[in-house]
Amino acid sequence: MKKLSGITLFLLLFGQIAQGQARYTSANVHSHNDYQQPVPFHNAYQHKVGSIEADVFLKNNELYVAHELKEIAPERTLDALYLKPLQQQIQKNNGTAYPNAQAVLQILIDLKTPGASTLPVLVRKLEKYPEIKNNRTIQIVISGDKPDPSTWATFPGFIHFDGLPGQVYNPEQAKRVSLVSANFRKYSRWNGKGKIEAAELTKIKQLIDSVHHQNQKMRFWATPDNEDSWKTLMNQGVDFIGTDAVTELTTFLKNYRPAN
């Protein structure tokens, strides 16, 4: 039997997910505000998630990981919590994010201080980690206070961006968009209990389909974080399921079998 290339396998998987038919795995898990986990980075990494999020503040020319400015602590730098541990894992894996050389890890960096000053500092910092920035299995994606798309071409190619639903990107800008993220609350008031309203479900599905039509991946934030919500998002074909319960969601996905 002829072997499929990694790109072919990815396209097949993406096409199946877009139709809500693929079996979801930990690669579809987005560890929301991962730095608030009891063990940042390592818990999500051990569960082989596909995406890890860190909120970043620039203070005194250093990048700190925190939810609010008042929570900044000297030991909680981006280097200490994420870049150094990730570099160590890459070295253990002989150059890839995970032991499975085809698996991709997305690091979503949410800029909480102005992007005009914060992103250049991040770029300079990543230049010190060639194993990360030059790695085909790592994607660095900028969210939060992103610079205007018209300036994206001025940043190195290893910097990608979190897109906005409905925003029009020219072809060169679109190449830098790794996913599209939206506030779930703009489309639904559902709290994850009972059934979601049909009209709201339709809006969610239409958004996901429109993003897939642009060959982009879809993620919602501010979603309910329980099994009913996870199933609903999967049934609509979302690409990344955001969660604060990484262990619970990855365990659920291992055991979940969709109804025929």
Q: CA distances (Å), 43 to each of 75, 194, 225, 250, in order?
A: 19, 31, 18, 11
Query: For residue 4, is it within any domain?
Result: no
Whether residue 92 is predicted with pLDDT greater than 50 in this model: the reply is: yes
pLDDT in tens, 181-207: 999 999 999 999 999 999 999 999 999
Instruction: Assess if residue 260 is contained within a domain.
Output: no
Q: How many domains does the chain have?
A: 1
Q: Is the residue at 106 inside a domain?
A: yes
Q: What is the pLDDT of residue 22?
A: 62
Q: Is 9 domain-assigned? A: no
Q: How far is CA 106 from CA 15, 72, 116, 136, 252, in A?
A: 19, 24, 22, 11, 21
- For 113-124, the pLDDT digits (tens) are 999 999 999 999
**In which domain, by residue range, is 41 found?**
24-255
The pTM is what?
0.90
Domain contains 228: yes
Residue 86: inside a domain, yes or no? yes
CATH of residue 197's domain is 3.20.20.190
Domain contains 10 = no
In a domain, 81, yes or no: yes
Q: What tokens appear for 246 in the block?
A: 């990484």
**What is the chain's mean pLDDT, rounded?**
92
